[in-house]
Amino acid sequence: MDVVVRTACGAVRGEARQGYSVFLAIPYAAPLVGIRRFQAPAPPQRWSGVRDARRFGSSVPQPILWHPGDDPECLTVNVWTPDAGTSGMPVVVWLHGGACMGGTAVTADFDGAAFAAAGVVLVTMNYRVGYEGFGWVDDAPCNRGVLDQIAALGWVHDNIAAFGGNPDAVTLIGQSAGASSVVGLMAGDRAPDLFRRGIAQSPGKIFVPADEARAVSAMITSQLGVRPTAGALAELPPEAIHAVQMEPVAVMAAEPGRWTHPNAPYSMIVDGELFDAPPWFDHRASGANRELVCGFTTDEARMFTADVDLSGSDPVETARSCGLDADAARTFRTGNPGSTDEELHALILSDALFRMPALWCAEAAAEAGTDTYLYEFAWPSPARDGALRACHGLDVPFTFDTPRGPLAAQLIGPEIPPDFADLSAAMRDAFLAFAATGDPGWPRFETTERIRRIWATPPELGGDTLATSRRIWQRARVPGRPSSADV
């Protein structure tokens, strides 16, 4: 059965399913055509009649998921609601990951049925990625992908009441790059009227200085033979940019010490406007009006190393490439007795990419007075004979209860584990309790006690088991993070 809701720009027709309704591909910004591809998002146009919102739209321009001829009206939101005729329900807005290089809301991985069944309105969104979203353009705003996210939050604020949601009870949740947006927007106190609470699942170290972003842009535009201006770039089709936008990786990998994140050419730019500093260094959101849940998976880097031959890995070189001192590898080995060189390699990378940034964000938020809650997702995946362990992204199917989605097929396998349903429900119940009340059901994180929820079978509470890693990284020269000489 169809259901019609009127938004500020016009009416949309969604689909009523068992116990909830879904509305797909509602535009929150104007189509990405011409110079608008490299500008801040513009408001969408009004429409007459009733717009069909029963099918997913296009992904934003990017390799693989996008093709020439796809609809440029791709800055869209998707809404799942228990009952569009009620009012005042909590709202959760999801930001997908993808290292600022890719990703989409057009996937069964982020199906909102489980949220709607729990009495919550879920919104997912597309936002610009790659060079279009995060590349430096001389005469255009930085972090256009994040500006898209803010525009979508504005759409939620103005329209979600029509879908039964409370615009004053919005929780922003994201994973990986999406989590970095959550903590970045909270730390800088950006968009304070558009969301109250944040859940950051594995925020990464993807904040770079403006001069790095300019240098990456220069490599790309020299390949394209154009100046780094919005007008010049808009003359090129998206596929031309996609063909060269990863070219800087080889140069960056050859000089890892020069770059904040040498394997990721696109990051959130510390531009002095949207972001003044990485979120673990500059946290302004404080007081009772903001709360944060922040977490990581135990074996984050296993997603990237499980298929790599690490038999010749050298933990000393791994530590050095991550900006650690010469004693770090020995300290890691002492603090993790019995670990092989391969396991230490994965541990150091897990720390560098996600575990320490997540911990630093929790520390900064707690020290600023924000009610902060820390978690670790420790459930080991059976996929690939257990090689993935509790890898990056594994918590996403549990968050959405999507064990048959494409991400779960990759990270969990074809069979649904017998403990999946209970752990998924426990996680989601905690996150949705936090969205409704600001309390996920475990003690707040403090830098003195460092209590965290461990998502395993069964869930439990843990203490400061990251002490070895934390002390090692406190000495590291991580951009935007004070060294031991500074604290």
Q: How far is the C-alpha of 430 from the C-alpha of 440, rounded, in Å? A: 5
Q: What is the pLDDT of residues 282-307, one digit of tens each?
A: 776 554 468 999 999 999 999 999 98
Copy the structure tokens of residue 214: 């300019």
Pairing of strands 2-7, 20-27: unpaired
The single-letter DSSP state of residue 209 is: E
Asked if 345 is an active-site residue, the reply is: no
Q: How far is the C-alpha of 270 from the C-alpha of 267, rounded, in Å? A: 9
pLDDT of residue 190: 83
Question: What integer best gives the mean pLDDT of the chain?
Answer: 94
Asked if 300 is an active-site residue, the reply is: yes
pLDDT of residue 58: 98
Q: How far is the C-alpha of 276 from the C-alpha of 273, rounded, in Å? A: 6
Q: What is the pLDDT of residues 90-100, one digit of tens each?
A: 999 999 999 99
Burial grade of 384 (CB within 10 A; 0-12, 13-18, 19 or more): middle
**Tokens 């890719």, residue located:** 102
* Residue type at position 91: V
Burial grade of 282 (CB within 10 A; 0-12, 13-18, 19 or more): middle
CATH, range 2-300+354-477: 3.40.50.1820
| Closest C-alpha among 380, 485, 373, 392 to residue 440 | 373
> What is the pTM assigned to this prediction?
0.96
The single-letter DSSP state of residue 438 is: S
Q: What is the pLDDT of residues 123-140, one digit of tens each?
A: 999 999 999 999 999 999
Pairing of strands 76-81, 89-95: unpaired
Q: For residue 139, report the phi and psi dihedrals to the nearest 5 degrees.
A: -110, 30
- Whether 356 shows a pLDDT value over 80: the answer reads yes
pLDDT of residue 117: 97
* pLDDT (average), residues 101-109: 98
* pLDDT (average), residues 398-411: 98
* Residue type at position 378: A
* pLDDT (average), residues 69-89: 94
Evaluate the omega torsion of the peptide bond into residue 458 and state whether it is cis, within 30 degrees of 0.
Answer: yes
- Sequence spans of domains, the chain: 2-300+354-477
- As beta bridge partners, residue 125 has 77
For 44, 337, 360, 453, 474, the CA distances from 468, given in Å and listed in that order, are 50, 12, 14, 19, 10
The residue among 483 and 280 whose pLDDT is bigger is 280
Burial grade of 206 (CB within 10 A; 0-12, 13-18, 19 or more): buried
In order, the DSSP letters of 358-378 are: HHHHHHHHHHTT-EEEEEEE-
| Closest C-alpha among 211, 239, 360 to residue 296 | 360
Catalytic residue from among 300, 343, 363, 376:
300
Asked if 58 is an active-site residue, the reply is: no
* pLDDT (average), residues 330-334: 95
Copy the structure tokens of residue 21: 């309704």
* Residue type at position 99: A
Catalytic residue from among 59, 176, 180, 217:
176
Sign of CA dihedral 81, 82, 83, 86: negative
In order, the DSSP letters of 381-392 are: B-GGGGTTBS-T
* pLDDT (average), residues 306-334: 90
Q: How far is the C-alpha of 377 from the C-alpha of 392, rounded, in Å? A: 9
Catalytic residue from among 283, 392, 424, 469:
392
- Whether 311 shows a pLDDT value over 90: the answer reads no
